[in-house]
Amino acid sequence: MSEKEKIPHLADCGGAKFAPSQEAWRVLGIMSEFVEASQRLAAIPPAVSIFGSARTTPDSPFYKLTEEIARKLSDAGFSVISGGGPGIMEAANKGAYFGKGPSVGLNIQLPHEQKSNAYQDISQTFRHFFARKYMFARFANAYVAMPGGFGTLDELIEALTLIQTGKSPRIPIILVHEPFWRGMIDWFKTTLVDEKVISPEDLDLIQIIDQPDAIVDAILLHYETHGFATHEGLLNL
Establish if 26 belongs to a structural domain: no
Establish if 1 belongs to a structural domain: no
Instruction: Identify the bridge partners of residue 209 per DSSP, sorted by sequence position.
Output: none
Establish if 36 belongs to a structural domain: no
Q: Average pLDDT, stretch 101-130?
A: 87
Establish if 165 belongs to a structural domain: yes
Residue span of the structural domain in which 146 resides: 47-228
pLDDT score recorded for residue 231: 47
For residue 215, the domain's CATH number is 3.40.50.450
Is residue 73 within 8 Å of 93, Cβ to Cβ?
no
Establish if 41 belongs to a structural domain: no
Establish if 234 belongs to a structural domain: no
- Quick: pLDDT tens for 135-184: 888 999 999 999 999 999 999 999 999 999 999 999 999 999 999 999 99
Neighbour count for residue 151 (Cβ, 10 Å): 20
Is residue 155 within 8 Å of 136, Cβ to Cβ?
yes
- Quick: pLDDT tens for 1-53: 777 777 776 555 555 555 556 778 888 888 888 888 888 899 899 999 999 99
Establish if 5 belongs to a structural domain: no
Provide the number of structural domains found in the chain. 1
**Among 120, 117, 128, 119, CA closest to 33:** 128
- Split at pLDDT 50, 70, 90, the class of 236 is low
Establish if 11 belongs to a structural domain: no
